[in-house]
Amino acid sequence: MNKLPATIEIHAPAKVNLGLEVHGRRPDGYHEISTIFCTIDSCDTLLLHAHAEPGLHCKTPGVAEHDNLILEALRELRSYCQVEHGLSIDVVKRIPIAAGLGGASSNAAAALIAANELWGTGLELAELKILAGQVGSDVPFFLSGGAAYGTGRGDTLYSLKFPMETRFVLVSPSIEIQGKTPGLYADLQAPDFSDGDRVRTQAHRLIAGSSLDPELLGNAFTRPLYDRLPHLAALPALMHDSGASIVALSGAGPTHYAVVESDSMARRIARELRRRLGTSARVFVAAPIPARYHG
Ligand code: C5P
What pLDDT does 56 receive?
87
Strand 56-58 with 86-92, pairing? parallel
Whether 185 is in the pocket of ligand 1, judged by its Cβ within 6 Å, is yes
258 vs 110, 122, 133, 156, 252, CA distance in Å?
Answer: 27, 40, 30, 26, 16
Quick one: which atom of ligand 1 is closest to the CA of 185?
Answer: 20
Whether 140 is in the pocket of ligand 1, judged by its Cβ within 6 Å, is no
Q: Which of the residues are catalytic?
A: 15, 138
Whether 271 is in the pocket of ligand 1, judged by its Cβ within 6 Å, is no
**CA–centroid distance, residue 153 to ligand 1 (Å):** 8
**CA–centroid distance, residue 181 to ligand 1 (Å):** 7
Q: What is the DSSP string of the chain?
A: -PPPPSEEEEEEEEEEEEEEEEEEE-TTS-EEEEEEEEEEEEEEEEEEEEESSS-EEE--TTHHHHTTHHHHHHHHHHHHHT---EEEEEEE--SPTTSSS-HHHHHHHHHHHHHHHHTT----HHHHHHHHHHH-TTHHHHHH-SEEEEETTTTEEEEE---TT-EEEEEEES---TTHHHHHHHH--GGGB--SHHHHHHHHHHHTTPPP-GGG--BTTHHHHHHH-GGGGGHHHHHHHTT-SEEEE-TTSS-EEEEES-HHHHHHHHHHHHHHHGGGEEEEEE-B---SS--
Whether 25 is in the pocket of ligand 1, judged by its Cβ within 6 Å, is no
The model's pTM: 0.96
Q: Which distant-in-sequence residues (6+ apart) come within 8 Å of 225 by Cβ?
A: 184, 232, 249, 252, 253, 254
**CA–centroid distance, residue 182 to ligand 1 (Å):** 6
Q: Which residue's CA is minimally distant from atom 3 of ligand 1?
A: 136
In DSSP terms, 14 is beta-bridged to 40
What pLDDT does 57 receive?
87
What pLDDT does 68 receive?
87
What pLDDT does 66 receive?
64
Q: What is the DSSP string of 187-198?
A: H--GGGB--SHH
**CA–centroid distance, residue 71 to ligand 1 (Å):** 18
Whether 19 is in the pocket of ligand 1, judged by its Cβ within 6 Å, is no
What pLDDT does 295 receive?
43
Q: Which residue's CA is minimally distant from atom 13 of ligand 1?
A: 182
Residue pair 88/51 in contact by the 8 Å Cβ criterion: yes
244: nearest Cα among 278, 220, 267, 213: 267
Divide the 295 residues of the chain into consecutive groups of 10 and give the mean pLDDT of each group: 81 98 96 98 96 84 76 95 93 95 97 95 96 98 98 97 96 94 97 98 97 97 98 98 98 98 97 98 98 69
Q: Which residue's CA is minimally distant from atom 21 of ligand 1?
A: 153
Whether 249 is in the pocket of ligand 1, judged by its Cβ within 6 Å, is no
| Cα distance from N-terminal residue to C-terminal residue, the chain | 28
Of the CA atoms within 13 Å of residue 64, those in its CB half-sphere come to: 7
What pLDDT does 80 receive?
97
